[in-house]
Amino acid sequence: MPDAKPEDSHIKARAAELLAQMTVEEKAGQLTQYFAFPGADEQLAGVEAELRAGRAGSLLFVSEAAEIDRLQRIAVEETRLGIPLLFGYDVIHGFKTVMPVPLAMAASWDPEMAETAQAIAAKEARAIGLHWAFAPMVDICRDPRWGRMIEGAGEDPYLGSAMAAAQVRGFQGHYIGAPDRLIAGPKHFAGYGASLGGRDYDEADLSETELWNVHLPPFKAAIEAGAGNIMSAYMGLNGVPASGNRWLLTDILRDAWGFDGFVVTDAGAAADLETHHFAANKEDAAIRALEAGVDMEMAPPREGGSAFRTLPEALKAGRISEARLDEAVLRVLEAKLRMGLFEQPYVDAERAQRVLNAPEHREVARVAAERSVVLLKNAGDLLPLSRDVGSIAVLGPFADAARDMAGPWIFRQDDSETVTVLSGIRAAVGNDTRVDHSIGVSVPKRMHPSIFENPFSPPLPEITVDDDVEIERAVALATEANVAVLVLGEAQIMIGEHASRSTLNLPGRQQELLDRVLETGTPTVLLIMTGRPMDLKGAEPDAQMMIWYPGTSGGEAVANLLFGDAVPGGKMPYNWPRNIGQIPLPYAHLRSFKPEEEHMRYWNERNEPLYPFGFGLSYARFSYANLRLSSDRMAVGETLNVSVDVTNVSEIAADEVVQLYIHQRFGTSARPVRELKGFERVQIGAGQTRTVAFTLTPDQLRYWSAVVRDWVQDATEIDVFVGGSSDADLTARFKVTA
């Protein structure tokens, strides 16, 4: 691996030399990525034949060092030009050490922590021979019916951009090819999070205003952080499939943003241009994907082979230019050269084992989980609990669910390494405290099987009980205990890809379990394990935490938070609706008409979030004062400094996420009532005051306006709001002069 960033000119020269030796078949091969599922021997035989014929440039889903090494040796030693393969994989939130899901990391509002976590993921994945992560997923989502919200950073482009850039830095380091790092592949370009009805794979219909101001910024931030790859999305966007959309893949990505990496389609999305009834057939699909700006086809096994396999024919027929084909091949070759694959294509399995088992990785996972949990309720300061609380009933289908703790997109975790909530609590309590457990109700089944219930994924744990009997047992334990800790939510296959949902209810008979436990009158802590804002139907646990899917060390982290060794500091990365009927319910909405009746938009209930974007409690309390602006006016193009004093008025040190929002009072377009434009997570000692400062730059005040169909910064008046949530009311106003 290069120990310093290789010179671009050197890279480009070597790529050009290689290109000059390649046949058209080999060129199309470099642009083809095949699935190599472990155990799919017949399919793998086909892939190996393509590989030996020089018609494969990359593989995905191989995740064992020995197998990667074996396949790489075929590419390097048994093909005409010996061009090494690029190995890609879904390293979304950890490889062997499972980190909290990305939405949880976003809820920490701690980009540095997200960067550290993804750097660990990269180190583990690179050690076994992977080169490229299909991550970070940076799709903005305002519809919790969409399962893939779990992979992103929530509803806001500013938080989403910070998390996107941080994860790219974590995966790649300071340059592509840095030791122990991966190529980052932000996805899914673009607008996938706005799929109709939250239904995964359905089309998105977005105005340019929404695209430019909400859905595109995190991709731009990821590219500015140096991302070497972009993955184009499956779905239709405004009638043009994202993977055949030249406006997205060339006009924006290349011409407007200067992206110089390579573009891969999502699985099958090139050939699927025919499925959309956009392309006439597979050959047409390949041509239109390449011409739109796709460089590499991610090709699942398909009758008659991949779409890009038809490119040599298309070239001969003059339907694509060799220049365009060469441009795509050079991008892929340059990525391989930058990653040092020609110098060091093989895997050091011995070193890999050491890296995968480094204990400090699990420490990072624990801290990441601690910083991601959001404390939503704490009536009567029930939390933190005493270790000598005497007796605790730990209940619910996810209290001891190792597989679910990992969340979606994890296929190889070692359940025996995962610390569940139950085992974390057991390890944390004093010797005299009794801990009882019941799952209370079985984990319900999905109506339609998950795509991850397949021969290539580890089988799901089968835990079924007689719910009628087990609920009574759980209720009896809760009745006897001094405290009940309920862990409810969704199984890891009920969220993520191909896991959209039409309600936000607790699946199965979990609501019944919750209601019955609350009826016992025992003080109850509800820990919610999912990414979605569950609708608890008015149930009122004394304390409530969103623990997301907290990963390998999640149980330890949750126990530390429950007993006060760690203090919750996470904040919601989305507005939590009272009722799914309110969706979409973005906090950054317009005033529109009769804003004073915003809470009355429905006659049958109050229209406001249950918990607003940016909300999260602590065991400490903070007060805000002295909001100061460096001036009460600034000219367009200038910057303004904002600062505020935050006091921790409690007796314990704790973190607060200080947030800055703006509202523009008039201009070319009407702008949202609140928009996040700054945040900082700070630790403040007991009784201490800390001044937190922000800078407002023209970039943060500029927006894309449908009036001029371009970016504008208005001469206007702007209200600033600062606090620990998007409903902060400490405010000041400044003018922006022309």
Q: Active-site residues: which are they?
A: 266
| Least spacing, CB of residue 62 vs ligand GLC, in Å | 12
Q: Which amino acid is at 409?
A: W
What is the size of the binding site for ligand GLC (CB under 6 A)? Answer: 7
- Per-residue x/- mask for ligand GLC, residues 676 to 695, rule CB under 6 A? --------------------
- Per-residue x/- mask for ligand GLC, residues 486 to 515, rule CB under 6 A? -----------x------------------
Query: What is the helix, strand, coil percentage profile of the chain, to 5?
Result: 35, 20, 45
| Least spacing, CB of residue 411 vs ligand GLC, in Å | 10
| Least spacing, CB of residue 187 vs ligand GLC, in Å | 5
- Per-residue x/- mask for ligand GLC, residues 26 to 65, rule CB under 6 A? ----------------------------------x-----
The beta strands (E) that lie in 600-715 are given as: 622-629, 633-635, 640-648, 654-664, 675-684, 689-696, 703-705, 710-712
Kindly give the interhelix angle for 282-292 and 322-338, rounded to the nearest 10 degrees.
70
Tokens 């109850």 — which residue? 524
Q: Give 61 or 158: the residue with its C-beta nearer to ligand GLC.
A: 61
| Least spacing, CB of residue 370 vs ligand GLC, in Å | 28
Q: Give 274 or 283: the residue with its C-beta nearer to ligand GLC.
A: 274
Q: Give 35 or 587: the residue with its C-beta nearer to ligand GLC.
A: 35
| Least spacing, CB of residue 249 vs ligand GLC, in Å | 17
Cβ atoms of residues 342 and 84 within 8 Å: yes
Residue 134 found at the interface with ligand GLC (CB under 6 A): yes
Residue 675 found at the interface with ligand GLC (CB under 6 A): no
Cβ atoms of residues 449 and 459 within 8 Å: no
Kindly give the interhelix angle for 157-172 and 217-224, rounded to the nearest 10 degrees.
30
Residue 283 found at the interface with ligand GLC (CB under 6 A): no
Q: CA angle at residue 149 from 170 to 40, to 5 degrees?
A: 75
Spatial CB neighbours of 356, under 8 Å, sequence gap ≥ 6: 95, 96, 97, 124, 127, 128
Report the residue from 22, 150, 267, 405 that binds ligand GLC according to the rule CB under 6 A: 267
52: three-class secondary structure by DSSP: helix
Residue 272 found at the interface with ligand GLC (CB under 6 A): no
User: Using omega within 30 degrees of 0 as the cis cutoff, is the peptide bond preceding 144 cis?
Assistant: no
Q: Give 203 or 266: the residue with its C-beta nearer to ligand GLC.
A: 266
Over the range 59-98, which residues count as b (16 or more CB within 10 Å of their CB) and which as e?
Answer: bbbbbebebbbebbeebbeebeeebbbbbbbbbbbbbbbb
- What is the spatial distance between Cα 499 and Cα 147, in angstroms, rounded to a whole number? 5
Cβ atoms of residues 623 and 674 within 8 Å: no
Q: Which amino acid is at 488?
A: L
Q: Which tokens go with 363?
A: 């420490």
| Least spacing, CB of residue 240 vs ligand GLC, in Å | 19
Q: Give 370 or 497: the residue with its C-beta nearer to ligand GLC.
A: 497
- What is the spatial distance between Cα 661 and Cα 678, in angstroms, rounded to a whole number? 7
Q: Give 90 or 274: the residue with its C-beta nearer to ligand GLC.
A: 90
Q: Give 267 or 373: the residue with its C-beta nearer to ligand GLC.
A: 267
Cβ atoms of residues 525 and 562 within 8 Å: yes
Report the residue from 69, 90, 124, 404 that binds ligand GLC according to the rule CB under 6 A: 90
Q: Give 164 or 722: the residue with its C-beta nearer to ligand GLC.
A: 164
Nearest residue to the partner ligand GLC, using Cβ: 134
Q: Which tokens go with 49?
A: 């034949």
| Least spacing, CB of residue 61 vs ligand GLC, in Å | 7
Report the residue from 123, 181, 187, 501 that binds ligand GLC according to the rule CB under 6 A: 187
**Residue 378's beta-bridge partner residues?**
543
| Least spacing, CB of residue 90 vs ligand GLC, in Å | 5
Q: Give 135 or 701: the residue with its C-beta nearer to ligand GLC.
A: 135
- What is the spatial distance between Cα 547 and Cα 100, in angstroms, rounded to a whole number? 9
Cβ atoms of residues 624 and 730 within 8 Å: yes
Cβ atoms of residues 487 and 443 within 8 Å: no
Residue 266 found at the interface with ligand GLC (CB under 6 A): yes
| Least spacing, CB of residue 661 vs ligand GLC, in Å | 31
Q: Give 248 or 267: the residue with its C-beta nearer to ligand GLC.
A: 267
Q: Pick the closest to residue 324 from 247, 237, 250 (CA basis).
A: 250
Q: CA angle at residue 94 from 90 to 95, to 5 degrees?
A: 70
Name the CA radius of gyration of the chain, rounded: 26
Output the CA–CA distances (angstroms, integers) from residue 276 to 240, 242, 285, 304, 542, in the order listed.
9, 11, 10, 19, 50
| Least spacing, CB of residue 141 vs ligand GLC, in Å | 14
Binding region for ligand GLC (CB under 6 A): 60, 90, 134, 187, 266-267, 497
